[in-house]
Amino acid sequence: MPAPEIAAGFLAARLVVAVVFVFAGVAKFRDVNGTWSMLRAFGVGVRLSDFGARALPVVELAIGVGLVITVTSVWAAAGAVALLAAFTAAIGWNLAHGRRPECRCFGQIGNAPIGGATIVRNVVFMAFASSAFVAPPALNDPAALGWAAGAGAYLAGIAIIVALAGLGFLTMQILAQQGRIMLRLDQIEADLYSGARDDADTGHEFHPTHHQGLPVGASAPAFALPTLDGEERTLASMLVPQKRLALFFVHPTCGPCRALLPQILRWHTELSPDVAALIVSEGDAAANREFMKGLPAHDVLLQTIREVADAYGVTGTPGAVLIEGDGTIGSTVAMGSSAIAALAAAARTPRLVQNGTVAVGTIAPEFTARTAKGEPVQLADWRGEEVVLIFWSPSCGFCRQAEADVVAWERRNGRRVVIVSSAPDQELVASGFGGPFVVDAESRIMNLFGARGTPMAVRITADGVVDSELAAGRTAIGALFATQASTT
């Protein structure tokens, strides 16, 4: 058994881990959707993410409580070490593949992309938890508590310092979160001044939305990067009027990037002269030369540590984004092989988004989401049949007035009607709507299509091509259903 002072240190280390696990568990209980998104971003399958988003908070709370109780502390410490080791391995795997998904270990507080600091933090917590193996709590705790009884003032001072440090940490996290909220409010205010309003003439309620990546139409962040042949290229030097620029983000150790590379080589040739295709990678130049065989060296740019990817909101690899000839963002960020292929296919068509909305004749942007029942869905699920997406909000008065029409539109043969709503709407379901009901709480899908209000609708052909302008209001949506879709 260690000396009483050392025993107290071991106990304190264990209690620190207990507090961290309890805090993380409570935070995840309050942010189940965020936990699910985090697991998916780390590469966990949909079904396992469904289970993990609900089970992980319970496990973390159980470990936290177990670490406090002497009888269960060893088993809880083993669980803490195992969970931290698994998470650290997942972080290492993602970093090795050029991916930096957000770590939402503490829910909505302190969510940030993973990195080396995340691994160091986990190793420290594993070391603290392992103190239960070095000094068995059944022998350690009585000595620590006995010593504490005679050193109350000393320990009280330490407790105050620790508490102040913890309070300072939480304050910094809250201020950071407040900063993100203020940025979001600034965007909302800008949207409001640019025309977000209630329009009784169209029967259409406008809502500000947020963006996946940078907003389409925003100025593309400037950069200057070396090429594989050592020359420096800047964004400004690559912009040509009436010619788009496609940036493909890859990493030489990324397996999906390696699988996608033959297609990137093909796109590099086929997209010219309408689109300039450039590859943004990172790491050792020699490794990239081996990886990029077949691509001109001056079209491969090397960033240092994701500085350009972060500036464009590209959270992993492979990813891609379009830039217009005037230096503005021309598309949302495409992540993964399928989304990048769709973006490449549409790159030579008119701007994916014109005047804030998706352009007719372009491939409809893919999305994944969940229904009101929690079932995962994606736009590709309805490929082969004509689809009408209706953007909806239960709190929208114009939507309430259109309930009977929506039910009637759904019952017409030949079209799949999909409601994309800001929240579940039992009233609409009670009215008789039985089609897919997709929840878009953060307006991500609305933003992809450029929909800035409710009710709005867009028609998509069986081949996945946008076939109509966005229709705003009950009358315009009814006219959309009354017209025949074009063939592709």
Domain boundary assignment for the chain = 4-150, 224-351, 368-482
Per-residue pLDDT at 288: 86
Per-residue pLDDT at 196: 38
Residue given tokens 């003032």 in the structure block: 153
How many whole angstroms separate alpha carbon 216 and alpha carbon 350?
14
Give φ, ψ of 420 to 5 degrees: -115, 105
Nearest to 396 by CA among 338, 446, 335: 446
Class of the CATH-defined domain 368-482: alpha beta
Check whether domain 224-351 has CATH 3.40.30.10, yes or no: yes
Give 80-117 pLDDT, tens digit per residue. Answer: 999 999 999 988 888 887 677 777 776 555 556 778 88
pLDDT beneath 50, residues of the chain: 1, 147, 150-157, 160-161, 175-201, 206-211, 487-488
Per-residue pLDDT at 180: 44
Other beta carbons within 10 angstroms of residue 289's beta carbon come to 15
Give 221-243 pLDDT, tens digit per residue. Answer: 999 999 988 889 999 888 887 78
Per-residue pLDDT at 367: 84
Per-residue pLDDT at 391: 93
The reply to whether domains 224-351 and 368-482 share a CATH topology is yes
Per-residue pLDDT at 359: 78
Q: What is the pTM of this model?
A: 0.41
CA of 98: how far to CAs of 3, 92, 317, in Å?
46, 10, 6
